[in-house]
Amino acid sequence: LYADEDAKLTRGKAAALLLYEKYISDDAQLCINISYRTRSTISKMMRNVRVWMNTEIDAVQLAELFDDCMLEMYQLISGSKASFNHLHCISLHPATSKETQQQIETQIAVNEISTTLTPRLFSPGAQRGGVSPRIFS
């Protein structure tokens, strides 16, 4: 039983490392826009592969590892979404087809629905029973 859990954690750590290298490391190919504090906290844990793979971490901590990144990205995109929503007050160019106008209005409605649901998913403590994601500092 414990060997299976250890294998799952090892695979999870490897997957987290791939995400770190692709999106968070200083030379990441698709570097995301997150705060220096968040980037440096994760980098301190993961910059040395051998140390990271031998770090004692449980499944909950591993699952919550990138929560701050997701929250920061959500907050950034929320501002852009608010700007986009303002556009629906402006009339579209007269040459815009009715079909395109309907697609835009549908997308705005979908975005408004998802915005009302998403903050609950990413609010601090919502998924982790109040456990701080900065447990590694």
**Is the alpha carbon torsion for 67, 73, 77, 79 positive or negative?**
positive
- If we measure between CA atoms, which residue out of 48, 45, 25 comes closest to residue 137? 45
Run of H or E residues at 6? helix 2-19
Tokens read off for 89: 């007050």
Quote the CA–CA distance of 33 and 76 in Å, as a whole number: 9
0.85 exceeded by the pTM?
Answer: no
pLDDT digit string, tens, across residues 8-51: 999 999 999 999 999 999 999 899 999 999 999 999 999 999 99
Tokens read off for 116: 């009302």
pLDDT digit string, tens, across residues 41-81: 999 999 999 999 999 999 999 999 999 999 999 888 877 77
